[in-house]
């Protein structure tokens, strides 16, 4: 519900009103593309009325096509290009998730392929980085 609050200028709003208004004007429908089959069908998926964004789930897609996290692999890059083209053809937003801390590939997604949505981090890895930093801050104790 908190994601809807900017629609109401952060004023308290009844759940009924928030859901009704959010569904009319504040919802975005993402179709996750996480398999080779979904890539092959991305044109048909992008053509669906009401779908706003095709979002590639990079880790799941790379595993499904047999290259597990190898985002430089031509099979992955071809898949991303195909989904991007489907989005352009059907005037849908193109997005990519799961590729973290890689400015070069992010530039390719945005500047070449037209991505307008990037999920460039996720909660578990942020917690891990913060936890690792905290542990390093504790001096080693010898008993």
List, for residues 95-107, the tens digit of each pLDDT value.
999 998 899 999 9
DSSP-based three-state secondary structure for 34: coil
pLDDT in tens, 32-70: 999 999 999 999 999 999 999 999 999 999 999 999 999
Q: Give the CA diameter of the chain.
A: 66
DSSP state of 80: H
Helices (H), the chain: 15-21, 36-40, 42-46, 58-64, 74-90, 103-107, 123-137
The tokens describing 20, both together, are 């009704």
Beta bridge partners of residue 119, listed in sequence order = 97
């Amino acid at each position: 519900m908190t994601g809807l609050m900017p629609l109401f200028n952060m004023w308290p709003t009844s759940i009924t009103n928030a859901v009704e208004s959010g569904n009319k004007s504040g919802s975005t429908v993402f179709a996750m593309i996480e398999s080779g089959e979904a890539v092959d069908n991305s044109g048909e998926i992008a053509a669906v009325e009401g779908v706003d964004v095709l979002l590639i789930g990079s880790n799941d897609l790379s595993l499904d096509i047999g290259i597990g996290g190898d985002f430089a692999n031509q099979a992955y890059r071809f898949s991303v290009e195909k989904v991007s083209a489907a989005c352009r053809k059907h005037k849908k937003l193109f997005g990519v998730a799961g590729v973290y801390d890689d400015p070069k590939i992010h530039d390719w997604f945005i500047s070449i392929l037209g991505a307008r949505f990037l999920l460039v981090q996720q909660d578990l890895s942020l917690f891990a980085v913060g936890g690792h930093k905290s542990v390093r801050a504790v001096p080693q104790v010898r008993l």
